[in-house]
Amino acid sequence: MSGTRRVIGVIGGSGVDRVLGDGERTMHRVATPWGAPSAPIMEGHLGDLTILFLPRHGVGHTIPPHRVNYRANVDALKSLGADSILTVSSVGSLQAELPPGTFVLPDQFVDFTKSRPTTFFDGGRVYHVSLADPFCPEMSRHAADAGARAGHSFATGKTYVCVEGPRFSTRAESKFLRGFADVIGMTLVPEVTLARERAMCYSCLAMVTDFDVWADRPVNAKEIVETMAKNVDRMQDVLGRLLPTLAGSKTCECELALESAGL
């Protein structure tokens, strides 16, 4: 990969790999101290941008959210030169004003996961990274602009609550969680935390696929898949407009995340 190109990691699911375009692709099989990532990483190019695509749940969506090797995924992208991670994720809605089909750009999260390794720093020197503002403001701003230009505007200023999964919520849990969050999903954490520990920019493009069970109708996995399929082309349109805007130099401070975090 050329050192003059900016390298962006894209983590997503079925259909999102179209961001690589029709040009030549390179497959990277990467080993990390935390094991193998979810799948080989595909490299493609878009203008002056190098894109590294990684299917979060593996080829064929075989890895459940609580078994994704998030540390290996983030570290593998970093080792291949990525300075940023852009993710596409499906979420449930906890608020009536965010119906299925809505695109959301969260700017905060709440962690309700239970058993996942959440840090690279398990020993040796200790770092306490700040997650006060967990998402890269520059990437999120570009994403909001791209959505508006594509006619698929994002709901902004929203909070994502991440739960362990793979099960869906009980009615009581759903009603409780909607008191402080707007969307619910199973994959944001620890991806976002690990990206900050690697001093990488991170932004999440979330697609609402269903109302969570607070709305009195149980969540149906088949309906979620159908809604995702309907939204793939819309999200692809946004990504096609967004990615070229990320090719320039960064002005955010994400790469300085560790400078004031070490003890």
The catalytic residue among 75, 83, 182, 210 is 210
The catalytic residue among 212, 216, 233, 237 is 212
Catalytic (active site) residue 107: no
Choose among 228, 220, 243, 192: nearest CA to 103: 228
Choose among 192, 194, 105: nearest CA to 142: 105
3-state secondary structure of 35: strand
Neighbour count for residue 230 (Cβ, 10 Å):
13
Residue 235 backbone class (left: φ over 0; alpha: ψ -120 to 50; beta: rest): alpha
Catalytic (active site) residue 48: no
Distance CA 240, CA 233 (A): 10
193, two tokens: 């935390």
Distance CA 67, CA 232 (A): 24
Local confidence pLDDT in tens for the 263 residues of the chain: 444 679 999 999 756 777 777 778 899 999 999 999 999 999 999 888 999 999 999 998 899 999 999 999 999 999 999 999 999 999 999 999 999 999 999 999 999 999 999 999 998 888 999 999 999 999 999 999 999 999 999 999 999 999 999 999 999 999 999 999 999 999 999 999 999 999 999 999 999 999 999 988 888 888 888 888 888 889 999 999 999 999 988 999 999 999 988 87
Is 36 exposed, middle or buried (CB count within 10 Å of its CB: 0-12, 13-18, 19+)?
A: middle
Is 221 exposed, middle or buried (CB count within 10 Å of its CB: 0-12, 13-18, 19+)?
A: exposed
All structural domains of the chain, each given as residue ranges with its CATH number in brackets, are 6-256 (3.40.50.1580)
